[in-house]
Structure 1
Amino acid sequence: MTIATYISDLLYRYECVILPGFGAFLSQKVSAEFNEKEQNFYPPKKQLSFNSQLKKNDGLLANYIAEVENLGYKQAVYKIEEYVQQLQLQIEKDKNFTVKNIGTFQITEEGKLQFEPLIASNFLADAFGLSSIPAISVSREVLKKQVEDIEEKAPILFTPEKRSASSYLKYAAIGILALGLTGFTGLKLYSNQVTNHNIAEQQAAESQLQQKIQQATFIIDNPLPEITFTVTNQSGDYHIVAGAFRVEENAHQKVKDLRADGHKARYIGENKYGLHQVVYSSYQTRREAINALYAVQKTNAGSWLLIQEL
């Protein structure tokens, strides 16, 4: 498998995949839309963009390659570096480069690197298998002819031309409406009487209840002691991973070591590759998590950002 394939796999699960030494692929969910120019309905998708400023290795891509190909972490990093060198050489030579299933890079006349995502690729897992649907125009004259054919067999008239020809139905409808209004007026008078009666009864009942409450005396002989709860905020879908271990005992030992160093570390369980993951901490927003990741990588270059709902 190529590096492009690994990046494509990760984009289905993560919103940010960094290609160390080159830049980051970012994804943002876009709702379903109608393209008026093309007259097509498009399903929801993840819209890709590229940020050349995010080049520092966050460990996500390297760890994934190491797990899939059963390599060491340093070997995976070296493989990424070779791919980036090839990519940069081809861009300098041909002024463009296509990352399979992701998009195309090219150098503009101003000498800037420009990224164009592939329209056919959709990294939103919820929309897997959905494709665009053309909008079909509806001819009102055709529908009108179909309705007129139905009116020839049915007693109800839909088209305005035929309704005007049967004026006697209008007078019959007026008579029915008059009878209905008379019955409605009587019903409304009766309803108002019932409502007034209910309000009066409710006020009387509330008055009696207030008198009984005022006369009552409540005595608590043994009140319960006060209880103070301390809540530790470990919520959030953005996690700074400290390491992933084959042996669960090693993961729990890592948690103890990190907590001894002052981190709010915790064990988050086993991933689908059978590795037991330990995180420094969890955050509510991507910005908080990225800031924390940069600080942690000063002492642990192998730490990386995990986006997952636990």
Structure 2
Amino acid sequence: GLNSPLIRNRVVTTEIEFPTVPQIWYAHEKFGAQVDVVPVRPDGTVAIEDYEKRLDSKTLILSAPFVYYLNGYKQDLAELARVAHRNGALLMIDAYQGLGTSPIDVKAMDIDFLVSGNLKYLLGVPGIAFTYTKQAIVETLHPASTGWFGQADPFAFDYHLNYAHDGRRLETGTPPALAAFAANASMSLIVEVGVQQIKQRIDELSRYCIERVKTKQLDLVSDFDIEHKAPTTAIRVPNSHNLELELRKRDIVCSSRGDVIRIAHHFYNTEDEIDHTVNRIAELVSRV
């Protein structure tokens, strides 16, 4: 939906994005986009200078995640915005892997676009996703993927394009009503508890989880400073998929990604649950 001069046609994204996002950008190459992917460092991070080296006068947008899905590495969104804007580029943040666990002030951080969904840490179900777009940008967007809900007057039933003047212009058709009820209930709970309080509890559990994983001499992949760590704690293991299945047999839900198994606690989890999970992982790994 972005109208840009031909001189700005580069999209800078990164290997720490969930694959769907770069795949979407690559699909835009047929419209003239040039996609540049910033590689992940050996320690599982991407530094600000790694992005800055790729940004130039031809860059239209920097597309980056709030949190690396594999290991829980959390990025400094305000710093990403400063780097992008210093080079004349827009910033789009995929917050799916961390929204609801750490405060995000899109205005204070000067974020242009933020996308997420109700699944994961917002405690909802699949089917609800949403986008924040900076007010100054909204009316410059002319989305090709649109529908009647994205028009100024949907109930005029006019088949000509007449985009809404606010964020509604990014809507398409009728939303999934049942998922919307679940989303409203789950996000109300997050607001009731308070995101800052959630972050404090999650940080406590992250410190505890890291300490327990190290005590068990497991291969910790998420050994970050706590300010750069989301709830995800990744452990490198042999045959992560089989380990996930074995944990499920023991009523422990973790997820395998590549060569790691991910523990992903929330504010309602306890230290005892982390102990139990890490102990079972250690037992199963020792049998391999």
TM-score bracket, normalised by the shorter chain, equals: under 0.3
Larger Rg: 1
* Greater strand content: 1
Q: TM-score, normalized by length of structure 1?
A: 0.21
